């Protein structure tokens, strides 16, 4: 059937897809706009499947802190190339997805993907549509929710790294200043846990194995290997758990001591470091 330029433009306005893609979809759908939209959506799904193994090393990290300052949500929307991460439609979608999560108080990625957006389609469907239009893999690599008496956030200038820190026992005191310092510490020093008890057991076991093997290579007695490895593990905790790390702005303080000197009893209940 005859597909007019007006028809193609109408579908383009409806979907944001390219002119040639719209013409092809309308031709395949024999002029039926609803079917053409479905063709474009399927095209997005095909692109997503085709590029499923591709790496997504670019993208955008966004943070929304509630007006009360008691909760925050962090979204990482990733893509394959830097130019796509800077395209307005990509950034607009990232912001819209985060706001849907905020509106519906979504606390995990699975819930977020199933939420309905303003156009009546789910978050997942909107992402697939953009995959079809842009032609590269786009995924939510992380979405997280944090709440406490006060949550402080830090977004790195690159837009690819964000940190949120949850503070409790604030006693009504605004801890934004120390919160920013701690958040920047987390961004720079990449702690793997809040304290030693929070470190993934798999990481602990791996560090013990590495410590034993290093000691073995140094010629230490087999009976001493585990004891040496445990000593190295103590150093690992000091360097890689937030509360035990030395404060980068003052080497005379650990983060735990910084909190206590700022406000007696002030604690951190959780933190999230999200990076593309």
Structural domain ending residue among the three candidates 147, 174, 199: 147
User: Structure tokens of 186?
Assistant: 């987390």
41 pLDDT more than 90? no
pLDDT score, position 70: 97
Q: Residue 233 falls within a domain, yes or no?
A: no
Q: What percent of the chain has pLDDT over 70?
A: 100
Q: For the segment 12-28, what is each residue's pLDDT rounded down to a tens digit?
A: 877 777 788 889 999 99
Tokens of 266: 């002030």
Residues 66 and 135 reside in one and the same domain: yes
Which structure tokens are listed for 134?
Answer: 């842009």
Asked if the structure places residue 88 within a domain, the reply is yes
Q: What is the CATH number of the domain that holds 102?
A: 3.30.479.20
- Are 34 and 79 in a shared domain? no
Of 165-174, 176-185, 218-227, 258-267, least confident by mean pLDDT is 218-227
Q: Record the tokens describing residue 11, joined without a space.
A: 């579908």
With tokens 């720079």, the residue in question is 188
Asked if residue 107 belongs to a domain, the reply is yes
pTM: 0.83
What's the rounded Cα separation, in Å, for the pair 175 and 168? Answer: 10
What local confidence, expressed as pLDDT, does residue 215 receive?
A: 92
194 within domain boundaries: no
Please give the pLDDT value at position 46: 80
> What is the Cα–Cα distance from 109 to 199, expressed in whole angstroms?
23
**What range does the domain containing 91 cover?**
58-147
The domain total for the chain is 2
Position 52 pLDDT exceeds 90: no
pLDDT value for 17: 78
Given pLDDT bands bounded at 50, 70 and 90, which one contains residue 133?
confident
User: Is the pLDDT assigned to residue 135 strictly greater than 90?
Assistant: no
**What's the pLDDT band for 62 if we cut at 50, 70, 90?**
very high
Of the pLDDT bands very low, low, confident and very high (cuts 50, 70, 90), residue 50 is: confident
Rounded to the nearest 5 degrees, what angle is found at the Cα of 97, between the Cα atoms of 164 and 51? 100
Could you tell me if 62 and 88 lie in one domain?
yes
Residues 82 and 137 in one domain: yes
Strands 150-155 and 138-147, how do they pair? unpaired
């Amino acid at each position: 059937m005859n597909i007019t330029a007006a028809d193609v433009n109408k579908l383009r306005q409806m979907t944001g897809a390219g002119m040639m893609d719209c013409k092809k979809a309308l031709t395949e759908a024999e002029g039926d706009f609803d079917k053409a939209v479905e063709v474009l959506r399927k095209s997005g799904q095909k692109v997503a499947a085709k590029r499923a193994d591709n790496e997504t090393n670019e993208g955008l990290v966004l943070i929304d802190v509630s007006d009360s300052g008691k909760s925050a949500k962090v979204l990482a929307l990733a893509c394959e190339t830097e130019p796509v991460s800077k395209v307005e439609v990509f950034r607009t979608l990232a912001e819209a997805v985060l706001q849907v999560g905020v509106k519906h108080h979504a606390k995990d990625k699975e819930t977020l993907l199933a939420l309905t957006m303003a156009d009546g389609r789910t978050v997942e469907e909107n992402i697939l549509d953009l995959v079809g239009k842009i032609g590269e893999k786009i995924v939510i690599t992380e979405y997280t929710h944090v709440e406490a008496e006060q949550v402080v956030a830090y977004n790195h200038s690159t837009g690819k790294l964000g940190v949120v820190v949850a503070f409790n026992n604030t006693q009504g005191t605004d801890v934004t200043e120390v919160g920013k310092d701690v958040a920047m510490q987390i961004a720079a020093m990449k702690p793997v846990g809040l304290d030693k008890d929070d470190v993934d057991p798999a990481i602990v076991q791996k560090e013990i194995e590495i410590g034993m093997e290093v000691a073995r290579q140094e010629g230490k007695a087999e009976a001493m290997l585990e004891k040496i490895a445990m000593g190295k593990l103590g150093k690992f905790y000091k360097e890689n758990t937030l509360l035990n790390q030395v404060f980068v702005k003052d080497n005379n303080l650990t983060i735990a001591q910084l909190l206590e000197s700022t406000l007696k009893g002030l604690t951190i209940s959780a933190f999230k470091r999200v990076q593309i």
